[in-house]
Amino acid sequence: MNRSFLVIIATCIGIFLCMLDTTVMNIALPAIQNGLNTNLSNLSWAINAYTIVFAALTIPLSRVAEKIGLHKFFMGGLLLFLVGSVISAMSPNLVYLIVGRIIQSLGAATVFPLSMVIGISTVNVERRTRVIAALGVTQGLAAALGPTIGGILTQFASWRWIFLVNAPLIVIALILSLVALNFHEERKNIKIDIFGALISIISLFTLTLALVQGRDWGWSSLIIVLLFVVSFSSLTIFIVYERKIDYSMIPMKLFKNRQFNGAALTIVLSNLFLVAVTVVLPTYFTKIQGKSELIAALLVTPISAMIFVFSPIAALLIKKIGARIVIGTGFLAMTGAYILFTRISMTNISEVVSTCLLLGFGYGIIAGPIVVLAASDFTGEMLTASQSVAGVLRQVGIVLAVAIFVTGLYGNINTAKSQSIDYAKNQIVKLKLPTAQAITMQKQVIQQIQDEKSSATFDKNHVSEQEKEALIQENYKAALSGKAGLSSEVQAAILQKVTVAVTSEISKMNTKINASILDIVSYTKQKFSNAFIDLYKLSIVFVGLSTFSAILFTSENKSKYQKV
């Protein structure tokens, strides 16, 4: 079998695993939380650690790989990813899980850019478009499939399998690598820009930490402000320093390439608006509509299907119709999908699926070409640098999506809770219930809203048998008051009359309370739905403006790239 083909398969597996693990955990968080007996705030560090380390170390590790040997380093990255996956799967507590995720991320920071470089380098520049298309579709597909795979594995096996599933794929990649890669490759005698590496790590670490923790620590808190200041200051120092040295961490001439600059911005924006749906929408289906994690994941699967179909097609189209038309069309389709998410009935499966198909089409025709455009005609050092930067920017897009949309979602949900609680209190006052029952009902309803439960499932009888009997006896005694000497037959008739009257009153009260609860549930459900829909309403203009990023690309059908 052709060695180049085996190399491409191995690198596609590497890319798939790295990108899959950026989103696969999200839908399994409640199951992991229960399994490790921890809270959601602490558990979020298992996701954050992967993202932060991945973003911060991708560029420095790529440079080290050039000195040691790309193929050897790629194998080492796969082994690290395997070890991290096993530790994560077998974790007895949160500390082990976080350690496992950090080791995974070290492997991913190595495997992702090297997969791109090694895969692209298997063919000459003239034939690389098809290879890049395959690598590109793998990236988008893995990120979009994360929630689906996570939901299926959690539903039918265990959350631990979202990590264990990596093992057989890594073993296959390792075997293919042993067969096809060249471990006697010539080492490059390059200097490692240690200062540049440290500054880039500081800049990316502080940026991603601020973005992922902004909601919990407060966007205006001193620590978050300081993190942003440190990040942008160190970035400025990095750029100034890198322009002055001969062995820079990132060759600054990379950014003289117009195609690469356009690709860089498009990578961030397209991933931001994709992940904003693939991560947030499953939460909507589980929290608001009460669907299982599996069903919620399957409802966003059409996005992945469209990415798989259209990414490779679009990658080949850019030579015929040009990057501007393809990228512009992709963002227009994504804008259309965001508009539809604010207009369709989210309980209508066919409408949801159709909208997801449109979003997947839009991202798909961006994802394939953008990898081709980011690789340009670069070779050697420039190719490695371009893929390292592209990998970091992809992570930045994902982190921005989580930071912006999850923060916005929590803010909207808190507002929805407050409005729903005020509405519930007013409705309960209108019922004019006895004080004790009004207080009990108010506590139950408020707790349900605080728990973000908008289900209409509740106990339809609000007076217990003991309470009913006590009311009957109370009214019976009142009816007998001042009527001494009544026969037992008359007393029995009075008791029966009181019982019928009390039962009727309780029935009327239950009817009033149930109608009020249904009204509160409907109001709360609508407010919670709006908390999600409003996110996409506010985003429409920004997705639409992203269409103008297509202008950054050259108008020529076949780009003239810089050869290095």
53's tokens: 């380390």
Highest mean pLDDT among 188-192, 333-337, 559-563: 333-337
Are 224 and 213 spatial neighbours (Cβ–Cβ below 8 Å)? yes
Q: What is the pLDDT of residue 1?
A: 55
pLDDT in tens, 274-319: 988 887 888 788 777 878 877 887 888 898 888 888 888 887 788 7
Q: Which amino acid makes up residue 380?
A: G
403's tokens: 């930071």
- Between 157-161, 191-195, 260-264, the lowest mean confidence (pLDDT) is in 191-195
Distance CA 389, CA 314 (A): 22
Are 381 and 66 spatial neighbours (Cβ–Cβ below 8 Å)? yes
Concatenate the DSSP letters of all residues of 61-94 into one string.
HHHHHHHH-HHHHHHHHHHHHHHHHHHHHT-SSH
- Tokens 């990040």, residue located: 231
Q: What is the pLDDT of residue 93?
A: 92
Distance CA 499, CA 488 (A): 16
479's tokens: 């009816």
- Mean pLDDT value across residues 190-195: 77
Of residues 381 and 53, more confidently modeled = 53
Neighbour-count burial of 73, counting CB atoms closer than 10 A to its CB (0-12 exposed, 13-18 middle, 19+ buried):
buried
pLDDT bracket for residue 438 (50, 70, 90): confident
Element housing 558 (H / E): none
- Mean pLDDT value across residues 1-23: 85
Are 433 and 441 spatial neighbours (Cβ–Cβ below 8 Å)? yes
pLDDT bracket for residue 363 (50, 70, 90): very high
Which residues, at least 6 apart from 387, have a Cβ–Cβ distance to it below 8 Å?
62, 113, 116, 117, 120, 374, 375
Report the candidate in 360, 334, 330, 196 with the shortest Cα–Cα distance to residue 263. Answer: 330
Q: What is the pLDDT of residue 455?
A: 55
Are 398 and 271 spatial neighbours (Cβ–Cβ below 8 Å)? yes
The SS3 of residue 1 is coil
Q: What is the pLDDT of residue 187?
A: 67
Q: What is the pLDDT of residue 196?
A: 83
Element housing 255 (H / E): none
Count of CB atoms situated within 10 Å of the CB of 224 = 20
- Between 193-207, 347-361, 373-387, 424-438, the lowest mean confidence (pLDDT) is in 373-387
Neighbour-count burial of 64, counting CB atoms closer than 10 A to its CB (0-12 exposed, 13-18 middle, 19+ buried):
middle
User: Sign of dihedral through CA atoms 532, 535, 541, 543?
Assistant: negative
pLDDT beyond 50 at 563: no
Q: What is the pLDDT of residue 343?
A: 92
pLDDT beyond 80 at 454: no
Distances (CA, A) of 223 to 40, 209, 216, 227: 21, 10, 11, 6
Q: What is the pLDDT of residue 558?
A: 47
pLDDT beyond 50 at 559: no
Report angle CA 420, 421, 424 to the nearest 5 degrees: 85
How big is the chain by its Cα radius of gyration, in Å?
A: 30
Average per-residue pLDDT in the chain? Answer: 84
432's tokens: 């004019």
Pick the CATH number of 1-192 from 1.20.1250.20, 3.50.40.10, 1.10.3470.10, 3.40.50.300: 1.20.1250.20
- Between 166-180, 200-214, 354-368, the lowest mean confidence (pLDDT) is in 200-214
pLDDT beyond 80 at 538: yes
Are 168 and 31 spatial neighbours (Cβ–Cβ below 8 Å)? no
Q: What is the pLDDT of residue 81?
A: 95
pLDDT bracket for residue 171 (50, 70, 90): very high
CA dihedral 283, 285, 287, 289 (to 10 degrees): 170
Q: What is the pLDDT of residue 450?
A: 77
Q: What is the pLDDT of residue 409?
A: 80
Distance CA 329, CA 563 (A): 28
Residues comprising the chain, all counted: 564
Q: Which amino acid makes up residue 424?
A: A
CA dihedral 118, 122, 125, 127 (to 10 degrees): -130
Count of CB atoms situated within 10 Å of the CB of 189 = 6
- Mean pLDDT value across residues 199-214: 86
pLDDT in tens, 78-129: 999 999 999 999 999 999 999 999 999 999 999 988 988 888 888 777 677 7
Residues carrying CATH 1.20.1250.20, the chain: 1-192
Distance CA 309, CA 479 (A): 79
pLDDT in tens, 56-75: 888 888 888 888 888 889 99
Of residues 381 and 223, more confidently modeled = 223
pLDDT beyond 90 at 329: yes
The distance from CA 47 to its chain's CA centroid, rounded to whole angstroms, is 10
pLDDT in tens, 466-506: 878 888 888 888 888 877 777 888 888 888 988 988 888 88
Q: What is the pLDDT of residue 229?
A: 96
pLDDT beyond 80 at 564: no
pLDDT beyond 90 at 157: no
Burial track 302-333 (b if 16+ CB lie within 10 A, e otherwise): bbbbbbbbbbbebbebbeeebbbbbbbbbbbb
Distance CA 472, CA 495 (A): 8
pLDDT beyond 80 at 49: yes
pLDDT bracket for residue 11 (50, 70, 90): very high
Distance CA 228, CA 212 (A): 12
The distance from CA 206 to its chain's CA centroid, rounded to whole angstroms, is 20
pLDDT beyond 60 at 514: yes
Report the candidate in 172, 400, 392, 153 with the shortest Cα–Cα distance to residue 293. Answer: 153
Distance CA 49, CA 399 (A): 12
